[in-house]
Structures are given as C-alpha cells and as structure tokens.
Structure 1
C-alpha cells in the first residue's frame, strides 16, 4: 500500500444521473488497490439534484455558491488538496467518462517518480469512446499548437483524466485556467518545466447529463481556448523570464 495521500476531485455540474455511480466506482478502486484515498466532489452550483446526491454519497464535497465552470471547480479542488497536505490529486469527471478501474494507470508514473503530471489518453491505444468528429479535430489542433508553443506533444490535451503530484499541485494552487482549462494548462505546465506524460486509458461515453461543448459551440470553443492559451503563454513566459533575470 502506498503511503501517498491521494485526493480524487470530482467536478460536478448537473450530474445527478451519473455522479453517485462515479463515487461508488472510485471507492471500489480505493479498496481494490488499497489506496490512502479521499474523494472530494465539487458541486459547481448545479441546478438539478446533484447536491442532494452528494450529501448521501460516501465522499467529501464542496458546494460552490456560484457557477465557476470546470476550471474554477477544479481550482477549488486543487486548493483544497494542496492546503490539506495531499501528495497527489486526481481529476475524475462526474459524468462517468473516466472509469475508476483505470486509476492505477495514471497514478503509477507518479508513484515511480517518473512524472509530475499524468494524462489519461484515449488516443494511444485507440480503444473505448473516441469522442465526436468535431472534438477530435479540435484535439488535433491543440496538439499542434502545444508543439509550437512548448515543443511537447500531448495527444489528448482535452482529457480531464489527470493526476498531479505535490510539485504540480503547488503550481495549480496559485493559478489554474478557467472555463475550459485542460488545453491551456498544458502550456502552463510546459513553461513551468513540469514533467508531463500520457498513458493509454479506455474511456466511456458520458453516463448522464449534457456536455457543455456541442457541435454549434465547437468553433467558439477553439477560438476561445486558442486566445486563452496564447495569453497564458505570453504572460507566463514574460513572468518566468523576469524571475530568471
């Protein structure tokens, strides 16, 4: 049994249909792998019965008073993890797409000291749910953008199935992108010279609720995230340059 204290953060917005099963899956994985693990569900001001489900579930929970988006919800969770002394934080979305039985795949490189951040990728073994065509176009676009900006290839930059060690937590405790954070955060991590790696995982389709990114919003998403990524790149590069001067 590892001695690392692990916090699994489950961001939730209107996930009453799926989140109870997600928490049950995580608890089963905790027992199966004998992990020193807690679960923190972050209710992002849901308008359905999500909060009532979380109050009945076997987990900690935060109830945000206003809707902050996935980035704000995860930032709250990362702050909780860092300030309460957890060694590792893991994101598992509340919609059921990230199977908890894949948890050890993203934890093991951190246990072995091989990475600061581990990303579960749908595209390394091409199994399970591969996302929609428009999403795959966007994912390939962000892969190329990351290559240009930080010289590193991340095949599934929009994956929210991630694990952070204590060093990475110290970074996201200070700042984490809002709204659609996953692609933007890749640049943040690269500029901070954090060691990122991807491992193949098998994901499922969402088990309930509705995605915030549909076909009609895909172009808006790509433009907004591109601008956010370039802003983070320019701001952090300038900040880190002055710190080294």
Structure 2
C-alpha cells in the first residue's frame, strides 16, 4: 500500500524539522508531504534547506485548505491511504503503523487517534476538554456514533474518503464537521487510543478569544451538514 502523511504547516519553524525527522525514524514506510500554508516565518526555508517534500501555497488558506491540498495531492498521486500529522509536534508518528493496520484489518474508512480512550499523555486544557465533550455529545445525537476525540487532527483515511476530502473539505476548524460529513455518507469510523504531546512551539490557531466563535461556527456547520443531504 502507498501511504501518505499530510503535514499542514503554518509558521512551524520551531517544530517542523523535529516533526519530519520523527516521521523518518518512527514511520519510514510512509511518504510525507508538507503543505506550507504561506508561512511568514522561515518554515519554507528550513524545509527547502533539508530537501523535504513540500508544497508551498501562494496564499494562506487556513488549516482546512492546507489539509484539503494534501488530500488532493494524495489522491492524484495514487496513494491508498492518507493521515494528517500536524506540524506542531503533538502527534506521535509511532502510532501510524498501528493505525494503518487497524484501518485495513477492520475494513474502515477512517480511524481517529484519540487521547481520551486511555487518558494518557497531554489531555488539553480543561476548557477545551469541555468543548470536546460538547462536540462528542452533538455528534452522537446527530449521527448515533460516539467519537471521544472529535477535534483530533490525527486521522487516517482510505482512498474513498481521500477522494471525498480532495474535492469537498471544511475550511475552518474542519475535524468535527468532516467527521459528521462522512458518517452521514455511511462511512465506517472508529477510534484507537494514542498518546499526544503538548505543543513544543508556535501558537495554536484557536486562541481563547476565538473559542466562542469556534463553538458557534462548528455547531452551525455540523447542523447544516446534517440537513444538507
């Protein structure tokens, strides 16, 4: 199987080298592509100096647009599965082989790495955990599926879902919305336990000031997705 790691990166100069080198060490059977979302720091220079596989976006598209670019790349390059690994160092690539085997052996369309099954490693802040639980309940009500970590970016998909996401993917804070979208299409989604790390550098795209907007925006997007089809 051809397996691709999608690394969305915006101003990740303090993390990107460690992220790629960890992938090379822990997941050597995976290819990777860095989607540089028009970073204003020296993320691009670091990647080019190290001859990393990189796609440089001409304008900043946000996390959704960057990840969608990665799915489009993966689909058009003939990959069988793709997994998002954030460029901030939070996702541990040592779990990727296990996720790929689980995806294939259970005939799934998506497998999500959840930090809340075994409750090990970095668990996020208390306020964010409340928000995550809110989305878990909302998704359960709307789809019947229990997703313990609906905001997890560590998600692996097969080629069918890769094609869907290559041409239709939410633009802002896409994880909960995109999970609902494929559950609505009767795709099979499960979670496995993983251990995540605290961000080692850079700044999260979701600041405390943006949290209220995030909750309202994603809730409305999920509700619209629920009635769209």
TM-score, length-scaled by structure 2 = 0.97
Is 1:5 equivalent to 2:2 in the alignment? yes
* Aligned with residue 73 of structure 2, among 73, 80, 98: 80
Return the alpha-carbon distance in structure 1 between the equivalents of residues 50 and 185 of structure 2: 37
Aligned to 1:225: 218
Is 1:15 equivalent to 2:12 in the alignment? yes
Aligned to 2:50: 57
Aligned to 1:69: 62
Return the alpha-carbon distance in structure 1 between the equivalents of residues 76 and 12 of structure 2: 27
Q: How does 1:44-193 map to 2 (within 5 A)?
A: 44-193=37-186
Deviation string, structure 1 residues 142-195 (Cα, Å, up to 9, x no partner): 001101111111000000001111111121122011111001011101011111
Aligned to 1:242: none
Structure 1: which 5+ runs fail to align? 238-245
Offset at residue 216 of structure 1 (A): 2.2
Return the alpha-carbon distance in structure 2 between the equivalents of residues 201 and 58 of structure 1: 30
Offset at residue 38 of structure 1 (A): 1.1
Q: Which runs of at least 4 in structure 1 moved beyond 6 Å after TM superposition?
A: none
Name which of structure 1's ranges 215-224 and 12-21 shifts more when overlaid on structure 2: 215-224
Is 1:28 equivalent to 2:28 in the alignment? no
Aligned to 1:240: none
Q: How does 1:224-243 map to 2 (within 5 A)?
A: 224-235=217-228, 237=229
SS at 1:48 equivalent: coil
Do the aligned partners of residues 218 and 107 (structure 1) sit closer, same or farther apart at CA in structure 2, a change above 3 Å counting? same
Deviation string, structure 1 residues 52-77 (Cα, Å, up to 9, x no partner): 11112353111111111111000000
Return the alpha-carbon distance in structure 2 between the equivalents of residues 199 and 87 of structure 1: 20
Mapped contact 2:152–2:175 kept (Cα < 8 A) = yes
Offset at residue 232 of structure 1 (A): 1.9
CA RMSD of aligned residues (A): 1.1
Structure 2: which 5+ runs fail to align? none
Offset at residue 112 of structure 1 (A): 1.4
Deviation string, structure 1 residues 84-127 (Cα, Å, up to 9, x no partner): 10001010000000011121232121231431100000100000
